[in-house]
Structure 1
Amino acid sequence: MRVYAIADLHLATVTPKPMTVFGPQWAGHPDAIFTQWREMVRPEDLVLLPGDLSWAMRLPDAMTDLAPVAALPGTKVLLRGNHDYWWPTASKLRAALPAGMLAVHNDAVRIGRVVVCGSRGWTTPGYEPLGEEDDRLLRREAERLALSVEAARRIRQPGDRLILMLHYPPASPPYPPNPLTQVIEAAGPDLVVYGHLHGVSPERAMRHVGGIPAYLVAADGLRFRPRLLLDTGMG
């Protein structure tokens, strides 16, 4: 089983949102994603989707956006992004998701020998400190991440790989520690994936959290091609 990741699909079948306002590279981006996905991903593979999946405001409209994603090869694991306003409670979401689509929502999932946990994350302090409200929201997200990590610990078996997903980056330049990085370092995942940043080369983004590999997988930075993270060597 190979594990891929791609974030920030920003699909807009029902709620039109021309992404070309962010640059001409976004022209026809759903077709670019779907075509390259089919070229790379096999039915037995796993694809992580860490947030900003659909511009829809309601769950039924988001399901329209996600239907062609569900039809692509591989098992998909979804995480909420800051623009996924349609994201409902965990029970409503899981009842609506088609076969082969899973979601991480304050918990974790195990597929083959891979355990996936995570949380949306939030703005983190960098050169400037956070305001009171952003600090409160960051700490809340760190608590949610800790819940997800604990859920992963309960289901993880010896030899399993642990992948931690965020939508927001784990930290901001110059990358001082924050509540999210503290949870990540304590959890010790095999790797971290995140999205949210557009117009940023993955090579220039944050690449480690306390020595743990971290990968920016926002779609435009990947040229709309899912990134191969690892190959478990199993079917």
Structure 2
Amino acid sequence: MRVFAIADLHLSRGFPKPMNVFGPLWEGHPQAVFSRWREVVQEDDLVIVAGDISWAMRLKEAMLDLEDLQQLPGTKVLLRGNHDYWWPSITRLRQILPAKMHALQNDSLLIGDLAIAGSRGWDTPGSYGFGEEDQKIYRRELERLELSLASTRSLAYQHLVVALHYPPYSASGGPTGFTELIDAYRPSCVVYGHLHGADPARLPQDWNGIPLHFVSADVLRFRPKLILEGAS
């Protein structure tokens, strides 16, 4: 099994919102997502979709986008992003997800010998405009990531991937509570998205030797990134 990752699909079949207003890289979206996904992902692969999946405001609208994802090859693991307002309780979401789709929240998944842990994340202290409400959300997301990672202790895995929507490091590239947890659990790699228009070459490529994969869809030209081979 190969493991891919992509974030920020911003699908909108049930809640139309053309993305080309955000720049020429979005021309041809979402058809580019679907066609380039099929170019690289096979049915026995796994794809981590690290947040901002759909512009929908309600679950009923988002289901159209989830059904489109379900038609694509591979098993999908979904993570909530800051724009996924449609995301209901995790119990309800898991009850209605199409086949071969999993949602991650406050716990972890074991698929073959691969464990996946993660959380949405948030802006970190020192970010521009970081205020009291941000501090509350930041602390809550740290707790969620810690719960998720702690749940992997009982799993018999060979590989561990940590998935976040926000970057784990600070705006200056320094340590945060998220990177402390990454240091403690030493996953095989970390994936994240959220940033748009950033130059991947200018972002941290690893955290203390742990690969960091920046997988926003527009940066990847809508082609999921291979992050791990050899999982079974």
Identify the TM-score tier after normalising by the shorter chain: over 0.9
Change (3 A) 1:129 1:14: closer
Name the counterpart of 1:187. Answer: 185
Shift of 1:233: 5.8
- The 8 Å contact of residues 3 and 231 in structure 2, kept in 1 or not, is answered as no
Describe the SS at the equivalent of 1:29.
coil
Counterpart amino acid of residue 179 in structure 1: G
2:82 matches 1:82: yes
Shift of 1:25: 1.5
Name the counterpart of 2:176. Answer: 178
Q: What count of residue pairs does the alignment treat as equivalent?
A: 232
Structure 2: 5+ residue runs without aligned partners? none
2:87 matches 1:92: no
Change (3 A) 1:230 1:221: same
Change (3 A) 1:233 1:103: closer
Could you tell me the percent identity over the aligned residues?
Answer: 55
- The 8 Å contact of residues 113 and 232 in structure 1, kept in 2 or not, is answered as no
Describe the SS at the equivalent of 2:36.
helix
2:199 matches 1:201: yes
What does the per-residue CA deviation read over 1:141-175, in whole Å, with 9 as the maximum and x for residues that have no partner? 00100000011222233xx1000000001123322
Shift of 1:138: 0.8
Counterpart amino acid of residue 123 in structure 1: D
Shift of 1:131: 2.4
The separation in 2 between residues aligned to 1:52 and 1:163, in whole angstroms, is 19
Alignment of 1:45-64 (within 5 A): 45-64=45-64
Structure 1: 5+ residue runs without aligned partners? none
Counterpart amino acid of residue 37 in structure 1: W
Name the counterpart of 2:44. Answer: 44
Describe the SS at the equivalent of 1:8.
coil
Shift of 1:76: 0.3
Describe the SS at the equivalent of 2:49.
strand
Name the counterpart of 2:208. Answer: 210
- The 8 Å contact of residues 120 and 167 in structure 1, kept in 2 or not, is answered as yes
RMSD over aligned CA atoms reads 1.5
Name the counterpart of 2:18. Answer: 18
The separation in 1 between residues aligned to 2:9 and 2:218, in whole angstroms, is 9
Alignment of 1:213-228 (within 5 A): 213-228=211-226
Counterpart amino acid of residue 219 in structure 2: G
TM-score normalised by L of structure 1: 0.94
Describe the SS at the equivalent of 2:86.
coil
Name the counterpart of 2:151. Answer: 151
The separation in 1 between residues aligned to 2:179 and 2:79, in whole angstroms, is 18
Shift of 1:67: 0.8
The separation in 2 between residues aligned to 1:125 and 1:171, in whole angstroms, is 10
Shift of 1:182: 1.1
Shift of 1:139: 1.2
Shift of 1:16: 1.5
Change (3 A) 1:127 1:11: closer
The separation in 1 between residues aligned to 2:113 and 2:65, in whole angstroms, is 29
